[in-house]
Amino acid sequence: MVKIAPSMLSADFARLQEEIKNIELSGADLLHIDIMDGHFVPNLTFGAPVIKSLRKHTALPFDVHLMVTNPADYVKAFADIGTEYFTFHAEATPHMHRLVQEIKSYGMKAGVSLNPSTPVAMLEDIAADLDMILIMSVNPGFGGQSFIPHAVRKIKKAKALFDYYENSNGVVEVDGGVNLETAPLVREAGADILVAGSAVFGAPDRAEMIRSLRG
Ligand code: DX5
Ligand code: ZN
């Protein structure tokens, strides 16, 4: 069964505590948290202090997706908060190996995200060390964009890469434009975790939407 990680980016920011509680009660598996710095992507969101203030209000594991140019600067802050997955972008650092080891040394799971134009092959020599590959199915920066179909092939390649390493516990997550129409495609391709922002937060019945996305 796939897991559903609603993206907080589509929540009502004036009522964050209620929104997160609502998502938890609606059956979400993880809370997807999009950190944007206005450099790596042309948008700003929230930082560690805001996320820290939410930690005591939900038991959901934090799935932190850093769309920032200097991800290494935030490892300790998110480890201190209590973060399950710390995911950074392959395009943001030439030192993926070092950063992955550092994330794990803090007891977090390490994920690497790929922009739509970045090949899965870039992760061949780090996959054995990864807990997650996050395939972007939109260009990062904004919620509510349309799914890029090529992501389906990349999900399959990422699954195959983890399968190659027999002892791997790595999961494949897909992020961007996931809705009732595209969810079956990414489930079929083998995605383990589906991120959904606008589809879940915009649904009249969020619990029903989460169930339907799971298939
Ligand atoms: C995009 C973010 C996504 C976004 C998904 O840069 O990484 O997590 O919130 O939103 P939807 O599901 O609306 O495409
Ligand atoms: Zn995201």
Query: Per residue in 44-85, pLDDT tens?
Result: 999 999 999 999 999 999 999 999 999 999 999 999 999 999
Residues making up the annotated binding site are 7, 32, 34, 65, 141-144, 175-177, 197-198
Q: Which ligand places an atom closest to the C-alpha of 36?
A: 1
Share of residues in the chain with pLDDT > 70 (%): 100
Domain 3-214 in this protein, CATH class: alpha beta
> Which atom of ligand 1 is closest in space to residue 144's alpha carbon?
13
> Is residue 6 in contact with ligand 1, taking CB distance under 6 Å?
no
DSSP secondary structure letter of residue 91: G
Cα 32 to ligand 2 centre (Å): 6
Q: What ligand is nearest to the CA atom of residue 143? A: 1
Helices within 26-113 (DSSP H only): 48-55, 75-81, 96-105
pLDDT at 166: 87
Is-contact 107 79, C-beta < 8 A? Answer: yes
Give pTM, 2 decimals. 0.98
User: Residue 142: phi, psi to the nearest 5?
Assistant: -145, 150
3-class secondary structure, 11: coil
Closest ligand 1 atom number to CA of residue 8: 9
Give me the chain's average pLDDT, please.
98
How far does the centroid of ligand 1 lie from the alpha carbon of residue 126, in Å? 25
Ligand 1, atom nearest to 9 Cα: 9
**Rounded Cα distance, 43 and 41, in Å:** 6
Contact 144, 107 (CB under 8 A): no
3 lines ligand 1 (CB under 6 A): no
205 an active-site residue? no
pLDDT digits (tens, 9 = 90+) for 3-44: 999 999 999 999 999 999 999 999 999 999 999 999 999 999
Pocket probe mutation, ligand 1, options 8, 34, 63, max atoms within 8 Å of Cβ: 34
Domain boundaries, the chain: 3-214
Average pLDDT over residues 87-109: 98
